[in-house]
Amino acid sequence: SLYVNTMEKKLAEYKCDTNEAISLKLVRFPEDVDDDSTTFHPEYSHQVFGDDEVAFGYKGLQIQLFYAAGNLSTLFKVKYTSKVTETFDCVEADDVEGKIREIIPAGFTCNTDDFISLLEKEANFKPFGTLLHTYTVHSEEAGELTYQIHKADVTCPGFREYHERLQTFLMWFIETASFIDADDDRWDFFLVFEKYNKDGETLYATVGYMTVYNYYVYPDKTRPRVSQMLILPPFQGEGHGAQLLEAVHRFYCSLPKVQDITAEDPSENYVKLRDYVLVKLCQGLPSFAADKLHLGFSADMIKEAQDKLKINKKHARRVYEILRLRATDMSDEDKAREYRLEVKKRLFGPYRKNQRELAKMRKCLRPEELVSHMSQMDTQTQHEELEKSYQDVVEDYRRIIERLASQA
């Protein structure tokens, strides 16, 4: 009916994309508050607003989450130009404020003036924990910028509350994010800060962080496992992720009780970052020297990567493949073929396992069941899959080699 159509059209106007509606900001100076160029938006909001990432019931919805750059003191405001009402529209608007309150800790302000007075306290904010590493990045606008990586834990005064404010960002930038129980003392926290000047004083801005859980390995070792890692969007693409991961690796390598360093469900981007950092660390080891690479992946490589850098065999294998690619003249057909076979041999492992399992299944499956399993993987398809995997791998490896060359 006409009424329903008009109603639907009207209600459609009251739907807002929550990734656009949410405005995030890291504020250093009072004038940043009204400066749109310092605003950034979530990549994800499904954990808070459902899979459609939509808030219903508002026109012109703006959800402001502004943070003081260092301590992350929070300004939280919800604004809109109009809102549906139960009386007139017989529908209820989503409780946007309630949904946000569920993921941000108490202690925020809703008043801009109060927030600006909190900014003045930023001069007292000092990075938590112990300093692990300092590095500089040259930027076109600002010249030399200095960064510090710190290791912290929940015993640092004020850190627990700070971490609760910081981890909210995970919801907006990591698809499968979940909050951790920071009270468990097996968590280590690594934080990146940028030094900046304000009225002649040195202040610190939060850049990003990583959480690592220390698993016990019988009888007396630990296996640190990277759980979460986020460089905040205004700082992405400047190399901070690599600096952080390398500093964390070096820290754990210095502890005798650490067996190796792993990661929990690593994303594709994390794997690329890790490849880059581990190659950078391993390229100086004698067993990975250029003249050893064409002899194949050796027990010496496994041992040296494990003993000196706490890198497990699987990761050491990737490092070897990348360094070997760099040392191989791929325009020489014989050398290129040798390299290709070497990588495909590793990639073929899972297929071989599949075939062993198929052989086992043949003994216990009815013919029609078997056909459905068999057709999944005929030899031709296998070869094509394998070739595609190989091309993808080499493309990733080449990017890492280029990045190493540009950093050298």
Q: Which residues pair with 131 in a beta bridge?
A: 150
The mean per-residue pLDDT over the stretch 336-365 comes to 82
Compute the mean pLDDT over every residue in the chain, rounded to the nearest whole number: 92
Helices 299-309 & 240-253, crossing angle to 10 degrees? Answer: 90
**238 is annotated as an active-site residue:** no
Contacts 24+ apart (CB under 8 A), 180-184: 180/211, 180/227, 180/228, 182/154, 183/154, 184/213
pLDDT class of 380 with cuts at 50, 70, 90: confident
pLDDT class of 156 with cuts at 50, 70, 90: very high
Q: Are 28 and 43 in contact (CB under 8 A)?
A: no
Task: Give the pLDDT score at 372.
Answer: 61
Query: 77 vs 382, which has greater pLDDT?
Result: 77
Task: Give the pLDDT score at 363.
Answer: 75
Instruction: Name the segment(s) of the chain with CATH classification 3.90.360.10.
Output: 1-122
pLDDT digits (tens, 9 = 90+) for 172-212: 999 999 999 999 999 999 999 999 999 999 999 999 999 99
- Superfamily the domain 1-122 falls into: Histone acetyl transferase 1 (HAT1), N-terminal domain (3.90.360.10)
Q: Are 60 and 78 in contact (CB under 8 A)?
A: no
Range scoring the smallest mean pLDDT among 10-14, 100-104, 149-153, 263-267: 10-14
pLDDT digits (tens, 9 = 90+) for 238-256: 999 999 999 999 999 999 9
Task: Give the pLDDT score at 368.
Answer: 66
The mean per-residue pLDDT over the stretch 289-298 comes to 95
Task: Give the pLDDT score at 17.
Answer: 96
Q: Is the per-residue pLDDT at 70 higher than 90?
A: yes
Q: Are 258 and 225 in contact (CB under 8 A)?
A: no
Instruction: Name the segment(s) of the chain with CATH classification 3.40.630.30.
Output: 126-265
Q: Is the per-residue pLDDT at 310 higher than 70?
A: yes
Q: What is the Rg, in whole angstroms, of the alpha carbon atoms belonging to the chain? A: 26
- Three-class SS of the chain: CHHHHHHHHHHHCCEEEHHHHEEEEEECCHHHHHCHHHEECCCCCHHHHCCCCEEECEECCEEEEEEECCCCCEEEEEECCEECCHHHHCCCCCCHHHHHHCCCCCCCECCHHHHHHHHHHHHHCCCCCEEEEEEEEEECCCEEEEEEEEEECCCCCCHHHHHHHHHHHHHHHCCCCCCCCCCCCCEEEEEEEEEEEECCEEEEEEEEEEEEEEEEECCCEEEEEEEEEEECHHHCCCCHHHHHHHHHHHHHHCCCCECCCEECCCCHHHHHHHHHHHHHHHCCCHHHCHHHHCCCCCHHHHHHHHHHHCCCHHHHHHHHHHHHHHHCCCCCHHHHHHHHHHHHHHHHHHHHHHHHHHHHHHCCCCHHHHHHHHHCCCHHHHHHHHHHHHHHHHHHHHHHHHHHHHHC
The mean per-residue pLDDT over the stretch 44-55 comes to 96
pLDDT class of 351 with cuts at 50, 70, 90: confident
CATH (one of 3.40.50.20, 1.10.1510.10, 1.10.274.10, 3.40.630.30) for 126-265 = 3.40.630.30
Task: Give the pLDDT score at 371.
Answer: 62
The mean per-residue pLDDT over the stretch 58-81 comes to 97
The mean per-residue pLDDT over the stretch 80-89 comes to 80
Q: Is the per-residue pLDDT at 145 higher than 90?
A: yes
The mean per-residue pLDDT over the stretch 142-170 comes to 95
Q: Is the per-residue pLDDT at 50 higher than 90?
A: yes
Q: Which of 13, 264, 387, 402 is catalytic?
A: 264
- The predicted model scores a pTM of 0.90
Q: Is the per-residue pLDDT at 385 higher than 90?
A: no
Angle at 216 between CA 210 and CA 218, to 5 degrees: 150
Task: Give the pLDDT score at 381.
Answer: 80
pLDDT digits (tens, 9 = 90+) for 28-38: 999 999 999 99
pLDDT digits (tens, 9 = 90+) for 85-105: 766 667 888 999 999 999 999
pLDDT class of 8 with cuts at 50, 70, 90: confident
The mean per-residue pLDDT over the stretch 203-229 comes to 95
pLDDT class of 354 with cuts at 50, 70, 90: confident
Q: Is the per-residue pLDDT at 364 higher than 70?
A: yes
